[in-house]
Amino acid sequence: MSTLAFDFSKPVDFVAIGRLCIDLNANEINRPMEDTVTFTKYVGGSPANICIGMSRLGMSTGFIGKVSNDQMGRFITRYLQQNSIDTRNVVTDHSGAVTGLAFTEIKSPTDCSILMYRDNAADLLLTPGEVQEERIAEAKLLLISGTALAKSPSREAVFQALQYARRHGVVVAFDLDYRPYTWSSDEETAVYYNLAAEYCHIVIGTREEFDMMERFESNPDKSDRVTASKWFDYRAEIVVIKHGKEGSIAYTKDGSSHRARSFKAQVIKTFGAGDSYAAGLLYGLMKGWPIERSMTYGSAAAAIVVSSHSCSDAMPTARQIDEFIESSQADE
Amino acid sequence: MSTLAFDFSKPVDFVAIGRLCIDLNANEINRPMEDTVTFTKYVGGSPANICIGMSRLGMSTGFIGKVSNDQMGRFITRYLQQNSIDTRNVVTDHSGAVTGLAFTEIKSPTDCSILMYRDNAADLLLTPGEVQEERIAEAKLLLISGTALAKSPSREAVFQALQYARRHGVVVAFDLDYRPYTWSSDEETAVYYNLAAEYCHIVIGTREEFDMMERFESNPDKSDRVTASKWFDYRAEIVVIKHGKEGSIAYTKDGSSHRARSFKAQVIKTFGAGDSYAAGLLYGLMKGWPIERSMTYGSAAAAIVVSSHSCSDAMPTARQIDEFIESSQADE
Amino acid sequence: MSTLAFDFSKPVDFVAIGRLCIDLNANEINRPMEDTVTFTKYVGGSPANICIGMSRLGMSTGFIGKVSNDQMGRFITRYLQQNSIDTRNVVTDHSGAVTGLAFTEIKSPTDCSILMYRDNAADLLLTPGEVQEERIAEAKLLLISGTALAKSPSREAVFQALQYARRHGVVVAFDLDYRPYTWSSDEETAVYYNLAAEYCHIVIGTREEFDMMERFESNPDKSDRVTASKWFDYRAEIVVIKHGKEGSIAYTKDGSSHRARSFKAQVIKTFGAGDSYAAGLLYGLMKGWPIERSMTYGSAAAAIVVSSHSCSDAMPTARQIDEFIESSQADE
Amino acid sequence: MSTLAFDFSKPVDFVAIGRLCIDLNANEINRPMEDTVTFTKYVGGSPANICIGMSRLGMSTGFIGKVSNDQMGRFITRYLQQNSIDTRNVVTDHSGAVTGLAFTEIKSPTDCSILMYRDNAADLLLTPGEVQEERIAEAKLLLISGTALAKSPSREAVFQALQYARRHGVVVAFDLDYRPYTWSSDEETAVYYNLAAEYCHIVIGTREEFDMMERFESNPDKSDRVTASKWFDYRAEIVVIKHGKEGSIAYTKDGSSHRARSFKAQVIKTFGAGDSYAAGLLYGLMKGWPIERSMTYGSAAAAIVVSSHSCSDAMPTARQIDEFIESSQADE
């Protein structure tokens, strides 16, 4: 059991800040995008997916972000509302920004790529003054996502959100979600990821993402334990390092490490695996479950999403996950 | 009959320079875009549409432009080639630019709008040095389009193309195609539109587009004749001013004006009407037809396109236009 | 005698458009700038210098430009007024731009360099709408300078000024004044220099500047005659090509070429030679003098300026030039 | 006596990071800049001035910064070296940046202003990777200055320097030095000032600068004590709040506050007062003097500098300060 100090007197379970975008998923799959003709529109963006996932799992949720003042922005806000997510802090841009897009290409279940449109994206224009302190103060858990750190003023909005979280005793989870295309330089990336991680109680990322953060440090063996222990000197209680097919490992401040079973899935595409995993994991941690059980729940959620065409729209309910786990055979 | 001095010894009929983009047309029509779920992908951009139109009409054609180094760019180049358009001067960007997008929304046949993605668009990165003098020298007619003037270096590429056209005796048509969103200011727009129009033999635009160009001039009554006569002091032979539903009027250097019949169509959307009109008109002029007949041909092409779901893909062949004219009842 | 069609019914002799800046001339000369300690402030910028020169020669003059809203901008405007230059069209910037600076370094009379500050310079922010048509309409001669073409919106302001000059029958002189540091690319430079030169009756530049303009053309021998004859196909009557120490050569539309004597000077620095030459030459042409005599007058003005510490402040009067010529021994 | 934990085993006393620029001080004073004609060149920039001050006081010092690749940059580096400052971490820019300039205007001893040139300034281009960890590791005290936080990548270089300081047990002083002109927004300013201050042991600023930092907080009475106590929750040991003519007040973590005498001076201009004060204060703190004595030393240094024409060049030696204090009559 983790030592995360959720304040259960707070009325809202979960609030996420950051990217809201549109996925345009190729309908004709198992071919290059040059040969696809039609696309289906979904809400996307890592923190949006996780928030939708948490809401599907029955948590009371809210989102802090910015959308374009057009049909895409209105579609996003409406979809969040349809998923019972509080959108009072979803601000509408008035500078002519657009919604970020992600066209997905599924050449095969294991060969997936994304064509991103991130220029002049509304979500990166959220300002610190637009972050409502009350939205954070009332939440048990705040999720931040690395992409929101990529540019000003969204970057400052996240740091301001972190100040509010500290001021009001809100647990913070950091999904590294590093996307190189929006950053100016690797050095800049490392500096801000490290600054933000100092504030966080739960840090989740891939080995490669942690390597990027250790640019100015010494961890020659890329040791997970060295990586994790650095953050326990700050506020971290749990550090999860993902190793793709080899599974994830969670370190806790007490020095122990944890692994969980993974599931066999009928993989259509790999997109959304990380977001659904995060939702399942955070859900378990908020329920007070042991870390292994929380990780297993995340893995099951991921297995469900990768066997579906969409990400956000495929986020499972607790009943779906329970049934999936029951009927599944774990890989060893 | 016009006095356009086409050099029929040149081996290529038609070359266009400028925007190449992707249209994403809502499949579910007669509703706001918030309620559409799937989109179909087509090649778009006014000069691309006109070039495809000319090629469908049997002309030998080429394109001068720039595409992104990704699936969208490759799709565009392949589609042009499939339509028998010479793509030797379609350059691939290597700076990380994207393909411009146009999401179409068809609320009703008369209430259509476009959501544009034009930030960091590859087509605006064509440089003057990338324009192949030989491509222009070998063509009878060069088409330029106003959107390519919106930003450097594409703007300079167009001016360089105009120099080559003058150097090699190529007739130039200017489709004004004014799109406010890519321009910095109305004044800048007016300056470059006027500079470019000085080089052109055929100028085609709406009344509103010509108004924009007359920002620093005196034409208080917005007189079409005053507008047209200015350009006859430069190189223009034909000036076509479009008045939407009231039809178009063409002025020629000899002082005469010309109108043509229009056609009743089963309108699905209005997009593509101008481009198909331009293709039909230019085709007629190159055939040496009287202006009225050329205008009628353009109107018929437009009527065919607006009754279809796409723009580029619906560009008609000469046989389709001929059959349409035969079977149609003209509106009076 | 030239065939320049000055309209002598116009009330103003000369109007210049373009750069207004500050020269900060090292007081301690014949050493590197690292060793200089104090600087003296002068008004600078090629068209400003020429305009001051014309005013000193007794011409009625005006300036079209933009200055910063600070002490530097006010100093410039006041200095122009003290030199009897009409400043009604010297606009004050309100965007926070600064005045361009030129720190001069005089290591030896023949080894001079300039350290430029051109970022966010107010003069490049002049807009086409700020150019007063009346200022141009009332002038016999308009001078444009290449540096003003380097960036938008100043670039468009110059093209709009050229439109007004054509509309009102104003003779136009183009001092190429190419400064690489403010331009984005050589190709862009060539395109706009050529576009602007098409409008001009007098074109003055160095061989290197004309080479830059011929980037997209064929003049393999860098022939002055080939260079000059191109512009006679447009509006040019006189093309002056400067060859540094070997002197200048002027071509006229009738096919003749002209050279003038040069003068021995006590050279302190080379700055300002071109501007004073232009002022003397244009003065002579406006007086109706033969080209040779005009060129000689320019050379004498240049000899006076290079033997002084400043540029603008050293611009000579007609009496000074006359006395200098009388007392001088010409070099052969 | 303060509780600052200087590590006296470290070989270097003091290292500063940030702005290096040029002051151009009007030689003709007591008049508006429009009426000044000559300027004298000095090295400037708040951290540069403080570093020069520390070196004059006999401390071993170094600087971490970036200079332009031109005469101005070379002048700065040479001047630092002449003042016995280690310049191994003064990097030369190769992107074409310039040195920031500050033209001073002294209308009267109490009416002074500065005209800044900060566009494309080399000092703001220092990258995190260019900061030498060794330079910080070997120093007892690191000084950071707010202006270096104004833009990327200099902003990230400062945060990286703060990481190194923490890693190696270096005391950090933060001179707020807020200059609005280089910042994008007040909100951004507040966010980064607060982030940086969390790392610092000594924070020095004016009441107005602390107000700016409290934008997202509650301190309705602008209480100095509230301001100071916030930082004692992080790493601060001393917070100095300056109230102009009313003098400064220093708070220490133990809850006490401290004031010092000020000195009567023959004021020529007010520039440089804060920098010399900081140098004197930090010198005293490093000597282990009581806070009051350190503040008095700072005040005496300031009184010496404001009665001189320059800032950097007037920074006093310890003997000058001692003699000044002896001979002075304190104001009450």
For D92-105, write each residue's pLDDT tens digit: 999 999 999 999 99
Strands D61-67 and A330-331, by their bridges, are unpaired
Residues C46 and C61: their CA atoms lie apart, in Å, by: 15
Residues A265 and A287: their CA atoms lie apart, in Å, by: 26
Residue B145's CB: how many other CB atoms inside 10 A? 26
Judging contacts by C-beta atoms under 8 Å, the chain B residues touching residue C163 are 194, 216
State residue B10's pLDDT score: 98
Q: What is the 3-state secondary structure (H, E, C) of A244-302?
A: HHHCEEEEECCCCEEECCEECCCCCCCCCHHHHHHHHHHHHHHHCCCHHHHHHHHHHHH
Task: Check CB contact under 8 Å for A37 and B41.
Answer: yes
**C116 domain residue, yes or no:** no
Judging contacts by C-beta atoms under 8 Å, the chain B residues touching residue A101 are 101, 117
The answer to whether residue D332 scores a pLDDT higher than 90 is no
B330 touches chain A (CB under 8 A): no
Nearest to B261 by CA among B294, B288, B287: B294
Judging contacts by C-beta atoms under 8 Å, the chain A residues touching residue D190 are 128
- CA A230 to the chain's CA centroid: 22
Task: Check CB contact under 8 Å for B128 and C163.
Answer: no
Judging contacts by C-beta atoms under 8 Å, the chain D residues touching residue C117 are 98, 101, 117
A156 touches chain D (CB under 8 A): yes
Nearest to C238 by CA among C184, C167, C292, C165: C292
The answer to whether residue C286 scores a pLDDT higher than 60 is yes
The answer to whether residue B332 scores a pLDDT higher than 70 is no
D218 touches chain A (CB under 8 A): no
CB of A144 closer than 8 Å to CB of A71: no
| Residue of B32, B34, B120 with shortest CB distance to A119 | B120
Most B CBs within 10 Å, among A24, A27, A33, A34, to test the B interface: A34
State residue A2's pLDDT score: 63
CA B33 vs CA A76, B24, B29, B44, C154: distances in Å: 12, 11, 9, 19, 41
B95 touches chain A (CB under 8 A): no
**B37 domain residue, yes or no:** no
Positions in chain A whose pLDDT score sits under 70 = 1-2, 329-332
DSSP string, B240-299: EEE-GGG-EEEEETTS-EE---EE----S--TTHHHHHHHHHHHHHHHT--HHHHHHHHH
Task: Check CB contact under 8 Å for B185 and C127.
Answer: yes
A246 touches chain D (CB under 8 A): no
Number of Cβ pairs < 8 A linking chain B and chain C: 54
> Minimal Cα distance from C104: which residue of D?
D71
**A111 domain residue, yes or no:** no
Residues C175 and C55: their CA atoms lie apart, in Å, by: 17
Q: What is the pLDDT of residues C45-83, one digit of tens each?
A: 999 999 999 999 999 999 999 999 999 999 999 999 999
Measured in angstroms, the CA of D184 and the nearest CA of chain A are apart by 9
The answer to whether residue D131 scores a pLDDT higher than 80 is yes
pLDDT-derived band at D182, boundaries 50, 70, 90: confident
Residue-level length of chain D: 332
| Residue of C39, C40, C72 with shortest CB distance to D115 | C72
What percent of chain C clears pLDDT 90, i.e. is strictly above it? Answer: 89
Judging contacts by C-beta atoms under 8 Å, the chain A residues touching residue B39 are 24, 38-39, 41
CB of D156 closer than 8 Å to CB of D127: yes
CB of D41 closer than 8 Å to CB of D75: yes
Task: Check CB contact under 8 Å for C119 and D115.
Answer: no
Measured in angstroms, the CA of D41 and the nearest CA of chain C are apart by 5
Q: DSSP strand E in chain C: where?
A: 12-17, 21-26, 38-44, 61-67, 85-92, 101-108, 111-117, 139-145, 171-175, 202-206, 238-242, 248-252, 257-259, 262-263, 330-331
Task: Check CB contact under 8 Å for D188 and A152.
Answer: yes
Q: What is the 3-state secondary structure (H, E, C) of D284-323?
A: HHHHCCCHHHHHHHHHHHHHHHHCCCCCHHHCCCHHHHHH
Strands B330-331 and B262-263, by their bridges, are antiparallel
Residues B272 and B49: their CA atoms lie apart, in Å, by: 8
- CA A290 to the chain's CA centroid: 21
CA D264 vs CA A92, C189, D245, D315: distances in Å: 56, 59, 11, 17
State residue C109's pLDDT score: 86
**A33 domain residue, yes or no:** no
Residues D223 and D214: their CA atoms lie apart, in Å, by: 11
Domain CATH number, residue A166: 3.40.1190.20
Task: Check CB contact under 8 Å for D128 and A188.
Answer: yes
Instruction: State the pTM of this model.
Output: 0.95
Q: Report residue D109 as tokens.
A: 């001893």
> Minimal Cα distance from A25: which residue of B?
B38
Q: Work out the mean pLDDT of chain B and round it to a whole number.
A: 95
State residue D331's pLDDT score: 47
Task: Check CB contact under 8 Å for D156 and A191.
Answer: yes
| Residue of A128, A133, A190 with shortest CB distance to D191 | A128
**Helix runs in B30-105, H state only:** 46-56, 71-82
**Torsion angle (degrees, nearest 10) of CA A187, D97, C183, C92:** 120
Q: Work out the mean pLDDT of chain C and round it to a whole number.
A: 95
In this prediction, residues B91-116 reach a mean pLDDT of 94
State residue B228's pLDDT score: 97
Q: What is the pLDDT of residues B64-81, one digit of tens each?
A: 999 999 999 999 999 999
Measured in angstroms, the CA of C117 and the nearest CA of chain D are apart by 7
Measured in angstroms, the CA of B255 and the nearest CA of chain A are apart by 44
Task: Check CB contact under 8 Å for C71 and D115.
Answer: yes
CB of D284 closer than 8 Å to CB of D297: yes
Judging contacts by C-beta atoms under 8 Å, the chain D residues touching residue C79 are none
Q: Report residue C156 as tokens.
A: 């468009």
Measured in angstroms, the CA of C40 and the nearest CA of chain D are apart by 4
What percent of chain C clears pLDDT 70, i.e. is strictly above it? Answer: 98
pLDDT-derived band at C329, boundaries 50, 70, 90: low
Measured in angstroms, the CA of A5 and the nearest CA of chain D are apart by 20
> Minimal Cα distance from A98: which residue of B?
B117
Nearest to C158 by CA among D112, D312, B188: B188
pLDDT-derived band at B181, boundaries 50, 70, 90: confident
Domain tally, chain B: 1
Contacts of D121 (CB under 8 A, 6+ apart): D21, D97, D98, D99, D100
Q: In what order do the strands lie in the sheet with D38-44?
A: C111-117, C101-108, C21-26, C38-44, D38-44, D21-26, D100-108, D111-117
pLDDT-derived band at C332, boundaries 50, 70, 90: very low
Residues A310 and A304: their CA atoms lie apart, in Å, by: 11
Residues D332 and D329: their CA atoms lie apart, in Å, by: 9
D101 touches chain C (CB under 8 A): yes
State residue A77's pLDDT score: 98
Task: Check CB contact under 8 Å for A40 and B36.
Answer: no
Task: Check CB contact under 8 Å for A153 and D194.
Answer: no
Of residues D3 and D191, the one with the higher pLDDT is D191
Q: Which residues pair with D41 in a beta bridge?
A: D24
- CA D213 to the chain's CA centroid: 17
What percent of chain B clears pLDDT 90, i.e. is strictly above it? Answer: 89
State residue B331's pLDDT score: 47
Residues A250 and D194: their CA atoms lie apart, in Å, by: 32
Q: Report residue A286 as tokens.
A: 């908020």
| Residue of C156, C184, C187 with shortest CB distance to B187 | C156
Q: Work out the mean pLDDT of chain D and round it to a whole number.
A: 95
Contacts of A196 (CB under 8 A, 6+ apart): A144, A146, A149, A158, A159, A162, A174
State residue B328's pLDDT score: 85
Nearest to C99 by CA among C27, C19, C156: C19
In this prediction, residues D87-95 reach a mean pLDDT of 98
pLDDT-derived band at C331, boundaries 50, 70, 90: very low
> Minimal Cα distance from D158: which residue of A?
A191
User: Do B and D share at least 3 CB pairs under 8 Å?
Assistant: no
Q: Report residue B100 as tokens.
A: 């411009």
**A-contacting residues in B 108-137 (Cβ below 8 Å):** 115, 117, 119-120
Task: Check CB contact under 8 Å for B195 and C159.
Answer: yes
Question: In which residue are the tokens 């893995």 written?
Answer: A299
Task: Check CB contact under 8 Å for C190 and B152.
Answer: no
ipTM confidence: 0.94
Query: Which helix (H) or strand (E) segment is D280 a member of?
Result: helix D273-287
Question: In which residue are the tokens 């990322």 written?
Answer: A205
B156 touches chain C (CB under 8 A): yes
Q: Which amino acid is at B76?
A: I
C190 touches chain B (CB under 8 A): yes
Task: Check CB contact under 8 Å for A185 and D153.
Answer: yes
C152 touches chain B (CB under 8 A): yes
CA C282 vs CA A317, C231, D131: distances in Å: 84, 18, 56
**C101 domain residue, yes or no:** no
Judging contacts by C-beta atoms under 8 Å, the chain B residues touching residue A36 are 41
Judging contacts by C-beta atoms under 8 Å, the chain A residues touching residue B120 are 119
CB of B126 closer than 8 Å to CB of B154: yes
A92 touches chain B (CB under 8 A): no
**C314 domain residue, yes or no:** yes
Q: What is the pLDDT of residues B138-179, one digit of tens each?
A: 999 999 999 999 999 999 999 999 999 999 999 999 999 999
Judging contacts by C-beta atoms under 8 Å, the chain B residues touching residue A40 are 37-38
The answer to whether residue D79 scores a pLDDT higher than 50 is yes
**C289 domain residue, yes or no:** yes
Nearest to C21 by CA among C92, C76, C84: C76
The answer to whether residue B289 scores a pLDDT higher than 80 is yes
**A58 domain residue, yes or no:** yes
Q: What is the pLDDT of residues A142-199, one digit of tens each?
A: 999 999 999 999 999 999 999 999 999 999 999 999 998 889 999 999 999 999 999 9
| Residue of B36, B40, B78 with shortest CB distance to A34 | B78
A163 touches chain D (CB under 8 A): yes
Number of Cβ pairs < 8 A linking chain A and chain D: 53
Residues A185 and A192: their CA atoms lie apart, in Å, by: 11
Domain that holds residue A205: 47-94+125-331
Task: Check CB contact under 8 Å for D71 and C27.
Answer: no
